[in-house]
Structure formats: structure tokens, C-alpha cells
Amino acid sequence: MKKVAFINILLPQYRTDFFHLLKEVLLKYDIELEVIYGKSNDVNALKNDEVDIEWARYIPNKTFKIGKTELIFQPCLKDMKDKDLVIIENANKLLINYYLIAVRKFSKYKLAYWGHGRNLQEDQNSWRNKFKYLFLDKCDWWFGYTNTTKNILTSRNFPLNRITVVQNTIDTRGIRKYYSEITESETAELRNELDIYNGTVALYCGGMYPEKNFDFILRTCYLVKQEIPDFHMIFIGSGIEAAKIIKASESNAWIHYVGSKFGKDRIKYFKISHIQLMPYYVGLGLVDSFALETPLITTSNPFHGPEIDYLENGINGFMTKDNINDYSSKVIDVLKNKSYLDLVKGCKLSAERITLEVMVENFKDGVLLCLNTLKK
């Protein structure tokens, strides 16, 4: 039996279905998957979205600081000796990566990267990205999130035939099942709880950190409220910027902060919302919008995650210019004219195409190709 190790700095809740299904699928090909993970001890821990998997191995991270730079070591080297493939996140701060790169030519395992190809939340020529580029080809295989990753890699001369585009996503079918099971009485109860009743509703769902630009989102909300008196805004999530949202909700009854929510408890808020506001750093939240029939409106800033590839402007969401006037005008127009109803059709089609099952199948194909076509 072949053995594959997937090393993760942490294990977010949205990845659990992926690892469960990938383990199940690989077993059919006589491949054993071991997931090794650590946990956050920084601001990421404030998101409250990390979980444990019973069959996975939790090994605490060791963190070091050099000035403002954080370095992380995952002490699992002894577990790599019997592995045929080791998959690691392409991140500068992970010290284990450099060791695995250094000894890979003399080891049994093949080494694969998993990630974006560069830090998409920074300028492509930042010093961190330039450092990252030095190691892009120090592996046997690449599992890229979307075509954006593939394009980054091929532009740096990484061989196309050693790249698997996995189409990164979440369990859209499971989410859609939850969504369809929410009853009218449940939504009525939630509206009553929030004092929304028949109001026009938007929401934000995700981590609350500065890069998401909550000042921009709140300014948009105030402009929308001036034009649409029955407008309500729901914020779901947690993080260091949550205090800003809590303060706004305390002085505005139409702004609702509900904290972190998971599973069906989270989905019911989408059921009563018409659109999702996420002007910056869009990632898997876009897939949420597809599965939960709540079109997302964002801006054309260059720092989105690779999942922005899935946005078809005017079909399953909207992308405006990166300024408050264009963005708020589009939000007002979509809500006033109920054009979100047309976008919902595009969301449903996208949710049927971008599924966890497809992602797992793509990942499995990449594992098989790597193991069977590359000889040590």
C-alpha cells in the first residue's frame, strides 16, 4: 500500500469534508492518506473555525519569532520515512518545508506543493513573493487551487504536465441540502429574532481581519440604508475586526452581528439574505454564495484569492470598480431592482459545477499521476 502524508499548519472546519472524502477515495486505489495538522496560536485562532479529525494526527506547532517575522516548525519528520508522497503548503514561514526540500533527492518520498503559487494578498514583486518564487520548482508536483495558480507556475517555467488544478471548493452539495431543508417557519423565527421581518437583507460571512476592509463595507451599508430604508446588514464571523462591527451594531439596530456560525445554524442567515457583500479578499466565500443562492458583490482589486476565477460578472455575481461610489451604487441597484434574482440562476449552475466531489477526483488523479509517472 502506498502512503501519502498531507501536512497542514492548521485544520479549518471547511476542510474536514475534503479530507474525509479524499481518504475514502484514495483507499480504493490502495493508497493510505495520513493528515497531520497543528493549530493556530495567533490572530487566526480568533476566527474560531479550527477543528479536529478523529483519524488525523494532531502535532502541536513550534513557533519562533525573528523580529516581526513568525516561523513555524511542525515536528513530524520521523513520520515521513515510510511515505511515498508528502504534500506541504507552499508557505515561506514553514520551516519543515526547507528540510523536506533539502533531503528529497535522497529520500523515498516525492514532494508536492499545495497552494496558490504566490501570496495573492501582496504585490507580485514583494520581497516575500520573490523569496517564494525561489522555491516554486523545488518539488516533484504541484496541486494548484485554480487556473490562476497554474498560470503563475507556468509563467515561472514550472512544467505544465506536473501541475494538477484541483478546483478548490467546499462541500456545495451538502450545503445545498442544508439550505433546502430550512423551513419557512425557521426563517420566520430568525427574522423575528432579528426584527427584520420583510426587510431587504445583505450579509457578510467570513473572517474579520483588517484586509477585508470593514470600514469600506460599513460605509457602503450606510449609503445603502439612505436609499433603501428597510435595509438590514448581517455580519457572521469573528476576528480582530469584530469589535468594529459590534460597535456599529450597538448604535444601529439594522446592523446585526451574530458571531461565528457553522453548519445549518450559519446557513439559515443566507436563507433570509438577498446578497453577500465582500468587496475585498474574496476566496471560498464566493463558493458559499453559489451554494446558498446569495450572489456576491465585490470589487476589482488585485488581491482576491484564486477562487475569484469562478466569478462570471453579471451572471453569478458582480464585480465593480474598486471605489466606494461604484460599489455602493451597484449594491443599491441590485437590491432596488431585485436583479439578484437573475444572478441566483447563475449561482445554482456554478454550484452544480464546482463541487467537492470534482475537487477530490482532481486531487486523486494528481496523486496517482505523481506516484505512477515520476520515478525516484
DSSP state of 154: H
Q: What whole-number percentage of the chain has pLDDT above 70?
A: 97
| Statement to judge: residues 190 and 278 lie in one domain | yes
Quick one: pLDDT at residue 375?
60
- pLDDT, one tens digit per residue, over 187-241 is 999 999 999 988 899 999 999 999 999 999 999 999 999 999 999 999 999 999 9
Domain of residue 78, CATH code: 3.40.50.2000
| Statement to judge: residues 293 and 359 lie in one domain | no
Per the structure, how many domains does the chain have?
A: 2
Q: Which domain holds residue 111?
A: 2-169+355-373
| Statement to judge: residues 204 and 108 lie in one domain | no
For range 281-288, the mean pLDDT:
95
| Statement to judge: residues 102 and 198 lie in one domain | no
pLDDT higher than threshold 60 for residue 376: no
DSSP state of 232: E
Q: Which amino acid is at 21?
A: L
Quick one: pLDDT at residue 198?
85
d(CA 366, CA 368): 5
pLDDT higher than threshold 80 for residue 172: yes
| Statement to judge: residues 137 and 267 lie in one domain | no
| Statement to judge: residues 232 and 337 lie in one domain | yes
| Statement to judge: residues 156 and 177 lie in one domain | no
Q: Is 169 helix (H, G, I), strand (E, B) or coil?
A: coil
Q: Residue 325: which H helix or E strand, with range? A: helix 324-336
| Statement to judge: residues 146 and 165 lie in one domain | yes
Q: At what angle do helices 242-251 and 214-227 cross, to 10 degrees?
A: 20
| Statement to judge: residues 230 and 321 lie in one domain | yes
Per the listing, cell 455602493 goes with 328
d(CA 353, CA 373): 29
| Statement to judge: residues 204 and 337 lie in one domain | yes
d(CA 256, CA 204): 10
d(CA 342, CA 54): 42
Q: pTM of this prediction?
A: 0.91
Residue 41: all three cell numbers together: 496560536
With contact defined as beta carbons under 8 Å apart, do 374 and 110 qualify?
yes
